[in-house]
Structure 1
Amino acid sequence: MSITNGVPAEEITGVTWLKARASVGAGECVEVASLPDGDVAVRNSRHPEGPALIFTRAEMRAFLEGAKGSEFDELAA
């Protein structure tokens, strides 16, 4: 199976989906999974069946560095 952007997340098998510890269990989180080819899948925890967005490690690293640097804080205000 080719794993590309928009693939139903339920079709991504053999991976472990991770949720942030900050999640309080009310379905307000995204979940991420490391894919066999090194990419990272992201899905909405409220709709775990999909679709999933697929990012390269470099794309995920850039996003996380931006989040750690408070570049997106206004979106959660």
Structure 2
Amino acid sequence: MTHHPKPDPACLDLTQVHWVVSSHSGGGGDCVMMGTAAGHVLIGDTKNPSHTPLVFTPSKIRSFLRGVREGELDHFTSTG
């Protein structure tokens, strides 16, 4: 496995990132967007696209998404 040091998000050329927004977002501009740069996954906010995105390794994102799919994080979205 190749280790990629985590890049400084402030040094990434974000103009070259192809951002993806979920089709489930409803298009209201209050969404999470994801893209890739320097071998890492970026997570940004569509309402504040000029803000520095969060940067994660692909393995961290895979673990996070697995947890979401398996319902491990459902309690964060409950309104009760």
TM-score category of the 2 structures, normalised to the smaller one? 0.7 to 0.9
Tell me which residue corresponds to 2:47.
46
Gaps of 5+ in 1: none
**Higher fraction of helix:** 2
Tell me which residue corresponds to 1:27.
29
Gaps of 5+ in 2: 1-5
Query: TM-score, structure 2 length as denominator?
Result: 0.78
Higher relative contact order (CA 8 A, sep 6+): 1
Percent identical: 27
Please tell me whether Structure 1 or Structure 2 has the larger radius of gyration of its CA atoms. Answer: 2
Q: Which SS does the other structure have where 1:58 is aligned?
A: helix
C-alpha RMSD of the superposition: 2.1
